[in-house]
A and B are shown apart, each in its own frame.
Chain A
């Protein structure tokens, strides 16, 4: 691989892997705290999938950039500004409704993202991975969509909580669909699809589900961003200190 192609692939893998790791970590915080036993099984299961996706992508990234010797180094030993995840995924969980709504937004986005990668991607290993990832993210999207409808179309109180969740997450959705110089380069090189190209499919599906739950589709304009450049929100520092604690306190520890 030419060195500028390698840089592009490395950065692209990091963006997707970091999104998955950080949302996986947030989702895992529900373990032992979910409203019912079934959800207490479901959310950690999803967290495991998300972290599994991150792990595989970090491994691919390590094969490209020898500065990092293994996936743990990428996951646990980088500094805050070196993480390239969206601000959306690092926000605190909030209530159960807020958690499943964010999962619905993100997994529906990833479902269409992987669907595109499956069709066209110059990096063969990612193209192969996308076949499996597509199936798993579709499953997450379906699970989360059922809760969005159930809670939206439930009682006045559950509907109110979902409406609040929609307002709460609204400022972070613009970043999900934001093209930048990097995403343009990825698309020109047939590596990754541009985020804006996923918007139509995403909007159609999300709008239909929100409608079923008597909820209003949010205004999506670019408000908060910075995650892709490593500029994070306050919540992220607390998350990292939790996530990285073991590797910082006991360097190179393993199971």
Chain B
């Protein structure tokens, strides 16, 4: 890897998501590529949602962090392939659960139709007796659930 690109990865891998501050952009799989063309470094990011309001904040954060090491990047958004919740790292899923958000089930569960794979676990009491309250939660990437055992409401990260 080219030296500047390597340094850029080093700086960006610890950047956190503005809406999920306990997760890094790397945990979420949002930063897809950093490469150098003739003049600039190009950072490609995959937005979790097209209208996600965190995207402009993420772009600013990337630009200001890279500026500190003397890089002024071009930031490009990529929609193909579309960002998938499957790109969230194991570590990211673990941190999500600790924070009280139920992580997304694997996308394959949508196609093979195994109902067990689609069960949503309550992040507070680990019960699988949960129900969906709303398709939409506190941010674009989450839906709202409730636990039928401990009665607590919680966010479930959407499987996309």
Contact = CB atoms under 8 A, between A and B. Distances in A.
B136 A45 contact: yes
A96 interface: no
A48 B79 contact: no
Contacts of B52: 52
Contacts of B158: 139
Given A38-B144, A48-B140, A49-B140, A133 B50 contact: yes
Contacts of A41: 134, 136-138, 144
Interface bracket on B: 20 to 34
A142 interface: yes
B51 A42 contact: no
B51 A131 contact: no
B136 A143 contact: yes
A55 interface: yes
Label chain A's interface by main secondary structure: helix
Contacts of B140: 45, 48-49
A180 interface: no
A93 interface: no
Contacts of A170: none
B20 interface: no
A114 to B, nearest CB: 11
Contacts of A192: none
Contacts of B81: 131
Contact of A131 (B79, B134, B136): B79
A106 to B, nearest CB: 16
A70 interface: no
B50 A38 contact: no
Given A42-B134, A42-B136, A45-B136, A132 B144 contact: no
B150 interface: no
A135 B51 contact: no
A50 B133 contact: no
Interface of B: 47, 49-53, 77-83, 133-138, 140, 144, 158, 160
Interface of A: 38-39, 41-42, 45-46, 48-53, 55-56, 127-129, 131-133, 135-136, 139, 142-143, 146
Rank and list the top 3 A-B pairs by shortest CB-CB distance, nearest first. Answer: A52-B51, A128-B80, A38-B134
17 contacts: A38-B134, A39-B134, A41-B134, A42-B136, A45-B140, A48-B140, A52-B51, A53-B50, A56-B50, A127-B80, A129-B79, A131-B80, A132-B47, A132-B50, A135-B160, A136-B50, A142-B135
Given A39-B134, A49-B49, A51-B51, 7 more contacts: A41-B137, A41-B144, A49-B51, A52-B50, A133-B50, A139-B135, A142-B135
